[in-house]
Amino acid sequence: MRSTLQFGRFNFPWRGERVRARVMGILNVTPDSFSDGGQHQSLEFAISHAEQMILDGVDIIDVGGESSRPGAPPLPLEQELQRVMPVLYALRDIGPAISVDTYKPEVMREAIIAGVDMINDINGFRAPGAIAAVRDSDCGLCIMHMQNDPRHMQLAPSYTDVVAEVTAFLRERIEALTAAGIDPRRLCIDPGFGFGKTVEHNYALLKATAQLIAELDVPLLAGLSRKSMVGAVTGKPVEQRMAGSVGGALAAVAQGALIVRVHDVAETVDALKVWQAGTNLQR
C-alpha cells in the first residue's frame, strides 16, 4: 500500500497517523486569470508574492503562465515559456516545493530541467508527448479531469453520472501513466472543479472526495478556491469568496484530500491548523 507521494525533492505522507494536509499557493503570472490576473505578472512581483506565501506557511507554490478560466484561448508556447521559466528558476531554492501548471510537453521538459517538484496538468497528460516528457523525472504528477477545453468547457457540461465518469477518466489516465513505467507513488488526482462542470456536478464531486481516493488509491488535490461553485452558495463575487473557499478546503481535507490549491494561503493554513488540532486527525 502506497503511503507517500513522491514530489521531486519532497515526500509527502498521505496515510497513517502523521498526515498533514498540504497547502498549495496559486501564483498566476498571467494578465487574465479569473481571480488575480495581472497582479503578479512581473518577476519582481511574482517573487514578492511567493515570499509572502512562504511567510504565511505555504507548502507548495503552483506557478501558472496560461489562464484556464472559462472561455480562455490557448497561449502560444513561447509566451508561456517567457512567463514561467524566469519565475521557476527564481523560486527553485526558495524553500517550499515548486509546481508548474501546464499541459504543454515542451513546458514540462523545460520546467523539469529547472528543477520543479510537480507537473500539474489540467489536460491529464493527454497531449502527444506529455507522458514521454515527464516519464524519466522524479517530479510528482497531478492528473486533472476536464470536460472539453477551457474555451468551451462551461458551455453545456453534461454527464449521466459525474462521479462515475470522472472516476473512470482518472483511472484510465493512471493506468496510462503507470503502463509507461511511471512510479504510481508520483501520481495524484484532481477532479477538476469548475472544468466542464455545473455547480451541481462540482458539489457531487466534492462530496465524493473520500470515494475517489478509496477507489483510485492515490492522493487527491482539491482546487476550488474562489470558483463559481463557492459564489453560487455564498452569493459573493470572486473578490469576496475567501471564507467560502476556506470552508471548501476544509470539506475536502475532512474527506482525505492531501493538497488544497488556494489563493488565500494564510487563512487556509490557520484554518487547517485549528481544524486538525481540534479533530486529532489520523488517517
Which amino acid is residue 261, in one-letter code?
A: R
User: For residues 67 and 73, what is the distance between their CA atoms, to the nearest angstrom?
Assistant: 8
Is 82 a member of any domain? Answer: yes
Query: What pLDDT was estimated at residue 47?
Result: 92
- Interval 179-208: pLDDT, tens: 999 999 999 999 999 999 999 999 999 999
CATH of the domain at 231: 3.20.20.20
**Cβ-count burial of 253 within 10 angstroms (0-12 exposed, 13-18 middle, 19+ buried)?**
buried
Is 52 a member of any domain? Answer: yes
Query: What pLDDT was estimated at residue 38?
Result: 46
- Interval 206-228: pLDDT, tens: 999 999 999 999 999 999 999 99
Is 281 a member of any domain? Answer: no
Torsion on CA atoms 67, 77, 155, 121, rounded to nearest 10? -70
Is 283 a member of any domain? Answer: no
User: For residues 50 and 278, what is the distance between their CA atoms, to the nearest angstrom?
Assistant: 29
Is 146 a member of any domain? Answer: yes
Candidates 223, 214, 215, 19; CA nearest to 121 is: 223
Query: Which residues form the catalytic set?
Result: 227, 261
- Interval 104-120: pLDDT, tens: 999 999 999 999 999 99
pTM above 0.85, yes or no: yes
Total of domains in the chain? 1
Which amino acid is residue 221, in one-letter code?
A: L
Candidates 236, 226, 233; CA nearest to 194 is: 226
Helices of type H across the chain: 43-55, 77-91, 105-114, 130-135, 162-179, 199-207, 209-216, 228-234, 242-254, 265-279
Query: What pLDDT was estimated at residue 36?
Result: 47
Is 10 a member of any domain? Answer: no
224, 230 Cβ separation under 8 angstroms: yes
Identify the domain containing residue 225 by its residue range.
Answer: 17-276
Is 248 a member of any domain? Answer: yes
The two beta strands, 60-64 and 97-101, are parallel
Residues in the chain with pLDDT < 50? 33-40, 282-283
User: For residues 95 and 51, what is the distance between their CA atoms, to the nearest angstrom?
Assistant: 9
Query: What pLDDT was estimated at residue 40?
Result: 46
Bridge partners of residue 141, in order along the sequence? 119, 187
Show contacts of 136-139: CB within 8 Å, 24+ apart.
137/8, 137/112, 138/6, 138/8, 138/186, 139/7, 139/8, 139/112, 139/186
Is 8 a member of any domain? Answer: no
- Number of helices (H), then strands (E), belonging to the chain: the values are 10, 10
Candidates 134, 137, 114, 110; CA nearest to 124 is: 134
